[in-house]
Amino acid sequence: MNWDSLANVAFALGCAPFLMGVINRTKAIFAGRQGQPLLQTYYEIWRLLHKGAVYSKTTSWFFRAGPLAGLAITVLVLFLIPFGRVPAVVSFQGDFIFIVYLLGLMRMMTVLAALDTGSSFEGMGASRELQFSAIAEVALVFALSTLAWKAGTLSISEIFTKVTPDLWRTEGGILSLLGVAILLVFLAENARVPIDDPNTHLELTMIHEVMVLDHSGPDFAMILYSSALKLWILGTFLLEVLLPFQVGNFWLDHASFIFAMFALAVLVGIIESSMARLRLIFVPRFLMGAVIFALLAFLLGLR
Amino acid sequence: MLPIIDSLLIIFILTNLLLLGSGRLATYIQMIAVQGVLLGILTVFIQHGGFRLRFALLAIGSTAIKGILFPLLLARATRLVHIKRELEPVIGYTGSLIIGAFLLALSLWISSRLPIPTPGKIDDYVLPIAFFTIFTACFLMISRTKAITQVISYIVLENGIYLFGIPFAGEAPVLIELGLLLDLTVGIFVMGIILYHINREFSSVNVNELSSLKDSRL
């Protein structure tokens, strides 16, 4: 048990919704708007927690359990991932596969809760979510396996401590391929722009948002919060690969990592402002691109 | 191994994958140009015997012909023949990408098994990527139906063979390399003209329809 690691978990729990605010503010600046307050996600979660929930008669207990289980799993993942060079609270050999499965379990809970409503619209969203995440997961597993192979260990905390400037010097090509692959997975898994548009409700082409349409009140607050945490988790994966540098001073390293996290949020905002969402038939090809990048790094890394 | 060669070779792989995954003729021509320029740079970097004038000559020659002349000729042919953007592949783009990944694995495996006497130590990735480029070109020739993509695949094939030959360039007379480049240039030129005439005569450059030219009485 390590107090630094626990402090990181607390920090992530507190700051994750702020990332959403940074993304929205960046998009507002690009569009020439004033934009919503940076703390808007906190306000929304607070507001939703004070509302009552409406449940359809066709739903069962599973519909109510879905958001709660999703949030619980996301918080569990937070305990398993390192932050900067500080190891995770709990780490063991092979935990990166466990993390991928936990993320898969969270997706399954969301999808089953969506199917539980009996709405054909939500069923459509569930089908799309599963189709696309089936490809994105392959890319993520290949990327993490390549890193595990290069680091010579199966524990995610140790894997990321092995990503040093030296590794970048000798294997820079492979690591940059992995960086691109994880960025694409990051955008797809968090339902950000080239794959999905978080702003469009009631649009027939949306993927993730459609599954949570029937949730209301505290349930929806939990969904909002866990999607912010998921953004934080996958962002950490990306930054661990892209930021190998370390000064040695604990606070300085920590501050630079947190700063990088918000820079990533700004980058997501820029991507969303400068790109349109892909047509639905191009999404699998986009994700296959991520798989190919990760696979390429894997094959080149094996030599 | 030098990181700069690795990065260039990885960009080379990515151009091949883009050729497999893209449906636009303009992208194909751009990738041919990128590959030509990359080969020119690689010619200088992969040599281990130090810098020599002949390599510089070869690099400039191949960059000029493959990176600039061929794309211009191909762009001109495209304009004359009024080819539509979409390439109508026999195998879809996602399928092509998956096959491309298999081809890459295959070429890595083959080159790890193949005892090739190289003069001195060369970069680990050169031979697999040369094989991969050759396989990609063969696959593109089979799976794309427009005649102009056959020409482009032919150039990609030659790029692969050229990449394979770079480590041995110190041993072979430079005249052979330059002769090859000249042959290729004339070849592309002639193919451009043939394409134009095929299009004028039959108003289509789809190779599947060329089989209807066969004498039906046989």
**Annotated domain spans of chain A:** 3-301
pLDDT: is A272 or B53 the higher one?
A272
Q: How large is the average pLDDT for residues B121-131?
A: 81
What is the pLDDT at residue B50? Answer: 60
Subunit contact A172:B97, Cβ cutoff 8 A:
no
pLDDT band at A5 (very low <50, low <70, confident <90, very high): confident
Nearest CB to A292; choose among B7, B101, B124: B101
Tell me how close the Cα of A235 comes to any Cα of chain B, in angstroms: 25
For residue A287 the two structure tokens come to 């994700």
Which chain B residue lies closest to A171 (C-alpha atoms)? B3
In degrees to the nearest 10, what's the CA dihedral of B114, B115, B117, B119? 70
- How many angstroms separate the CA atoms of A103 and A238, rounded? 16
Q: Which residues of A touch B9 (CB under 8 A)?
A: 173
Closest partner residue to A285 (CB to CB) among B9, B93, B108 is B93
Using a CB–CB cutoff of 8 Å, tell me whether B17 touches chain A.
yes
A173: chain B residues, CB-CB within 8 Å: 3, 6-7, 9-10
Are B125 and A177 within 8 A, CB to CB? no
Facing B97 at nearest CB: one of A170, A177, A292? A292
Q: Which tens digits make up the pLDDT trace of A168-182?
A: 877 888 888 899 999
Smallest Cα–Cα separation from A224: which of A8, A9, A6, A18?
Answer: A18
ipTM of the assembly? 0.73
Please identify among residues 121-160 of chain B the ones whose CB lies closer than 8 Å to any CB of chain A. 124-125
Write out residues 18-47 of B within 8 Å (CB-CB) of A: 21
pLDDT at A191: 82
Nearest chain B CA: its distance from A184 CA (Å) = 16
Q: How far is A127 from chain B (nearest CA, A)?
A: 20
Q: Which of A66-75, A121-130, A152-161, B192-201 has the lowest mean pLDDT?
A: B192-201
Closest-CA distance, A293 to chain B, in angstroms, reads 9
A29: buried, middle or exposed (CB in 10 Å: 19+, 13-18, 0-12)?
middle
The per-residue pLDDT for range A60-110, each reduced to its tens digit, is 999 999 999 999 999 999 999 988 778 888 888 989 999 999 999 999 999
CA–CA dist A303, A291 (Å, integer): 19
Total-model pTM: 0.84
| Pairwise CB contact (< 8 Å): B21 & A288 | yes
Whether B26 shows a pLDDT value over 80: the answer reads yes
How many contacts, defined by CB atoms under 8 Å, are there between A and B? 47
Give the whole-angstrom CA distance, residue A294 versus residue A289. Answer: 9
Burial of B201 (0-12, 13-18, 19+ CB in 10 A): exposed
Are B101 and A300 inside 8 Å of each other by CB? Answer: no
Rounded Cα–Cα distance for residues B148 and B96 (Å): 18
- What pLDDT sits at residue B54? 73
Question: What is the b/e burial string over B47-65, where b = at least 16 CB atoms within 10 angstroms of the residue's CB?
Answer: beeeeeeebeebbebbbeb
